[in-house]
Structure 1
Amino acid sequence: GNDVIIYTVNSFILQQNLPNAQLILYPDSSHGSQYQYPELFVSDVSTFLDKNHF
């Protein structure tokens, strides 16, 4: 991640402290990675939701 809105280190801290959190960093992406990698983003979210029974 190359996010200037939420620095990657802060995302890492959240991932380490939130139960069931998953952090995925997309290459050369910013805060809009869901627009830069839409198919991969939807796949990752679907997998996360299925795995955690949402």
Structure 2
Amino acid sequence: MRQLKAITTWGRQAPQDLGSIRIPVLIANGDNDIMVPTVNSTDMARRIPGAQLVIYEDAGHGGIFQNHADFVPKALSFLEA
């Protein structure tokens, strides 16, 4: 119950200013994630300068695991940059 209350409270906060983030950011999500709605990932990527966004179709919260063959090379490339 406490976790649900914390998530609900957090979700009602005003969005934080992410425009000051100046490090590389890779955001990956599934297009049908019910735990972290995909729209949140899209919004976060839009608000972080230069962020890279990967959305996996027909995937949920475990999109990076469902699509590991695609995600691992992307993550390694991102980390090498």
**TM bracket, shorter-chain basis:** 0.7 to 0.9
Bigger helix share: 1
Q: Report the TM-score, using the length of structure 2 for normalisation.
A: 0.56
**Equivalent of 1:32, from 38, 51, 62?**
62
Unpaired stretches in structure 1, ≥5 consecutive residues: none
Find the aligned partners of 1:2 and 1:47 in 2 and give their Cα distance. 25
Q: Counterpart of 1:37 in structure 2: which amino acid?
A: N
- Which structure has the higher relative contact order (CA within 8 Å, separation 6+)? 1
Q: Over aligned residues, Cα RMSD in angstroms?
A: 1.3
SS in 1 for 2:52: coil
Aligned length: 51
Answer with 1 or 2: which has the greater Rg: 2
Q: Deviations over 1:5-40 (max 9, x none)?
A: 111111111001123321111110011012111111
Amino-acid identity (%) = 37
Find the aligned partners of 2:50 and 2:62 in 1 and give their Cα distance. 22
Partner of 1:49: 79
